[in-house]
Structure 1
Amino acid sequence: MTHVESAHLVELALGNDVPHHDDGAALRHIASCERCSAELDRMTRVVGTARRVEEPDLPVAPPERVWEYIAEEIAGTDTKAAAPPRSDPSNRPGGDGSRRSAPTRKRERRNVFLVLVLVVTLAFTWWRRSRSARSSAGGC
């Protein structure tokens, strides 16, 4: 058998109940192939890490002084640059600036998690393909 496709390894790492016509052969191959086993292990660790991401872990806008410093460095002067507009809570979904409901926060966290997993998966797949294109190693 050839190496297990990255997309199939991602499904296995995510633990999705997506029936695959060749799960048995893929699992046997992974058990005997160092390369596929290591790749599945890495993907599983990435998924585990991504699942532990919480809202406080997400990036936030830097303080105003950071923007001012960057603008001064770019301009090469001591002139204070206008800071980018701050987000207004009333412009968020809901419109009234009130706190979002628990289901909304949970949905937002889930969406952030899914986007994060997608980005990591795409980056990992791109990295593996570019790496395997450079290598001339064949089978196991």
Structure 2
Amino acid sequence: MRHVDPEILALLALGEQVALPEDSVHVSECEQCRREIEVLSRAAMVGRSTFDAGELVEPPSRVWERISDELSLAADPSAVEPKVAVEPDVAAGHDLATTADVAPEPADAEVSPATNVHSLAERRRRRPWIGVLAAAAAVALVAAAGSAIWATFQPSSQPTILASATLDAFPAWPDSSGVATLEELPDGTRIIDVNLDAPTTDGGYREVWLITTDATALVSLGIVEGTSGQFTVPDGLDISSYDLVDISEEQFDGDPAHSGDSIVRGQLSTEA
């Protein structure tokens, strides 16, 4: 069975109305040709969707080789340049067709109407459309490969949870509670993430502390604004010793020390 010329299928995939009546009938009855048009249409759609995507990454040579194998194109797209005989330049006195290698057809050669429709001149005009499809297919392959490579090699952007604590209320704050999580960012920075549920007060503020297990030393991490916050743990601070997370009620009295009025406190643990 004679299938429709691949270049005609490519143009049909791009929405060009170029098929002869017999080609249209064949496509309507041939599943293989219809499937090829569908594949080329998807490639063209991908190509059009990337026109405003910015600078594209040049694909490796193996990508073009695969496309060439699929579309039966020349190995080097820049080398696809039909050579056509040129009329001699009478005024210049020499023949401009010295490099042409296309022999003239015999005068008595019989040319069918279909041959006229698919003449060499028309093929030259259609050739850029094949390049568009090839470029679209290349973009699709590079985009898929690039996404896979990026997903494989990019560093994780999610923090690692090292420990957590349930923050229990002190007797003076019976309606309060909280949780704290010790996390490590991809760059090695450690943070304490706290969430506090406590009654609001007037004239004070809440401060987050890390306190040693025996409560003999403490370090301030910062002020909680609202009910939650993230605080950087100082480099070199031994969390295995400073493992108590404390949130206190402080007053604007100019004293940087702990007020002694703790709202909630809990011990960091690696247990789930």
**Common fold by TM > 0.5:** no
From the CA coordinates, give the structure whose radius of gyration is larger: 2
User: Which has the larger share of helix?
Assistant: 1
Structure of higher RCO (CA pairs closer than 8 Å, 6+ residues apart): 1
User: Which has the larger share of strand?
Assistant: 2
